[in-house]
Structure 1
């Protein structure tokens, strides 16, 4: 859908960026086993392990959050799962299991567990075995839905985030999405922030079409304060959900009488990007 509104032949796949250099008015971008490309603007939207970020800022590598995640979406029904609802099961030993009805008979499940080891097995048979071992003897339908999930449908990932930055632009190079502000997935805002970034950046570039550096300055000034708050809240709530009292904590967090939570959710979900022209 997004590509359909772009000019033809403007998207070039199978390019691995390995670095760049800023010249007087242009940026020379280097790709593995390919010729360099000259550009007026470089946007590093290359994820948590961003090459653009490391070249631009040379800050620390992603921070391992001491937990592993397993996720899948399958066609699945169970008497204990209500339609149009989500179910969260927690344990005092640093584990939780989330099930969400995503419509048309499909269920999304996500398992999380504290783990000092961020090693991900390469064998396709290991993720399913690993989840079943970690969540053995759990309340139904945990084991049942994992058993019903094909091995190749399970995505196993260590959880990382990136330390927030006071600035993510230099010259005519900037960052967007996880490359700028990767967070742990406790608020479900990672992709949303990337969309917000893209919209805000486009507005800033339209407002200052003749001065890219001015546009990037406005872009990061408008986005950094908000993304820092989401980072801190994500880290805080993510850590709390793996503590021994997680069941009580999570129950309290969703009480509608908690004005602070309501105010935060209004700030989070009612956000409307704007540009001071």
Structure 2
């Protein structure tokens, strides 16, 4: 992590910031910038906040960043989610391959928390004034000059800001307007997922269940509050989407036809309209995230496969680092340059390892650590230590 000058500036380098996207990244960034006295406005295309999203794993690096931005918020999330201590790996017949006890808290000072995306969004939104979050604002582009940015919305008035932050995900309109890349890159992994009120019988002994099959796997995760997140992914070089909700549910149950009933039961208990189906995608790393008065953050900047559960966690790192750069730079140009220097190399590495990890799930040797060379295991340990040991340096 690049060091940021420690002399704090008394006046913000920007007065008004517009953030597109009210997901965890946009909300966390708004919290961080508001604490500096910056006027932040968030624009979200959804018409309302409603139960949505999947279960997320919040790792020590992400929790450290959140704690630095909003002290005490991790304790709130602990009561909203589930602290993972015991995990189990099973085959599709329900036979146990191995059990594990997590060591995150002992090794890194923070636990592994699993939380519903929607509950995380609610906790973050509660830290902000409700009148700065503007729903039903679908960004369709922007114009900028040396003096500011004008952001355009479908069916709504344009707004002006000193800086635009694109926190609008893998299909970011802000990124597409900047770089015109087109559609994201499908990496060969198809996904079905949902969050429902459900208590799996194995949750009496484990907080996270991982089931590995032939070119297919499933997570069943306790995300707190009586909610269960299930996620099933399958290796499919070419993908097609189902025509309707009933077809989605029928399709995933067919994919799990040979699986133990305890794994199928959670899918059978899920209403068809609550099952999300979609391809796992990423994008090539960018050499820069900013142009003029516009920059990117989170999945808009570095969308990655979910294999390492680092999408949200690296987004929280982004939010912290961007706020620090604003606080300790003399100009906007300097701040955005420092932000990119502190983030691009790290996220590029994590993106690459996440894509590799996603395909590793489909490797037949995945369930047999004895077949993995010792050096590779050591490299994995070193890599995980590098990822999870990230701690923000709070400058004074």
TM-score, with structure 2 as normaliser = 0.63
Distance 2:308 2:137 in 1: 32
1:200 and 1:274 in contact (8 A); partners too: no
Indicate yes or no: 2:286 matched with 1:134.
Answer: no
Give yes or no for contact 1:18–1:51 (8 Å, CA) kept in 2: yes
**Counterpart in 2 of 1:227?**
347
Alpha-carbon contact 1:99-1:109 (below 8 Å) kept: yes
Matches of 2:383 and 2:325, distance apart in 1: 26
2:313 maps to which residue? 192
Q: Is it true that 1:41 corresponds to 2:163 in the alignment?
A: yes
User: Could you say what secondary structure the match of 1:169 adopts?
Assistant: coil
Distance 1:207 1:111 in 2: 44
1:175 partnered with 2:293: no
- Residue 280 of structure 2 corresponds to residue 159 of structure 1: yes
Equivalent residue, structure 2, for 1:270: 389
Deviation of residue 224 (structure 1)? 0.6
- Aligned partner of 2:323 in structure 1 is 202
Aligned equivalents of 2:286, 2:294: Cα separation in 1 = 15
* 1:172-224 deviation line (CA, Å, top 9, x unaligned): 1100010000001101111111111111111111112x511110110011011
TM-aligned CA distance change 1:136 to 1:5, over 3 Å: closer
Pick aligned residue for 1:84 from 206, 226, 240: 206
Looking at structure 1, the residues matched to 149 and 200 of structure 2 have their Cα atoms a distance apart, in angstroms, of: 55
Contact between 2:245 and 2:275, CA under 8 Å: does it hold in 1?
A: no
Instruction: Return closer, same or farther for 1:102/1:39 CA change in 2, 3 Å cut-off.
Output: closer
Higher relative contact order by CA 8 Å / sep ≥ 6: 1 or 2? Answer: 2
Q: How many residues align?
A: 272
Question: What residue is the counterpart of 1:218 in the other structure?
Answer: 338
Report deviation, 1:37: 1.6
Contact 2:365 2:371 in 1 (8 A): no
- Written as runs of structure 1 = structure 2, the 5 A alignment for 1:70-109 is 70-79=192-201, 82-92=204-214, 94-103=215-224, 105-109=226-230
2:136 to 14, 23, 43: 14
Q: 1:197 to 1:243 in 2, by over 3 A?
A: same
- Cα gap change, 1:103/1:59 in structure 2, threshold over 3 Å: closer, same or farther? closer
CA distance, structure 1, for counterparts of residue 184 and residue 269 of structure 2: 33
Q: What are the Cα deviations for residues 79-113 of structure 1, in whole angstroms up to 9, with x where unaligned?
A: 55553332222223x11122223345543221111
Unmatched 5+ residue regions in structure 1? none
TM-score where L is the length of structure 1: 0.88
Query: CA 1:266 to 1:55, structure 2 compared with 1: closer, same or farther past 3 Å?
Result: same
CA RMSD of aligned residues (A): 2.5
After TM superposition, give the deviation of residue 165 of structure 1 in Å.
Answer: 0.8
Per the alignment, residue 241 of structure 2 pairs with 120
Structure 1 stretches of 4+ with a deviation exceeding 6 A read none
Note if contact 1:91-1:247 (Cα within 8 Å) is conserved in structure 2.
no
1:50 maps to 2:172: yes
> Partners in 1 of 2:201 and 2:155 — Cα distance?
54
Corresponding residue number in structure 1 for 2:154:
32
C-alpha contact 1:137 1:143 (8 A) present in aligned 2: no
- How many Å apart are 1:33 and its aligned residue? 2.0
Q: In 1, distance between residues paired with 2:148 and 2:371?
A: 53
Say which SS state the counterpart of residue 134 (structure 2) adopts.
Answer: coil
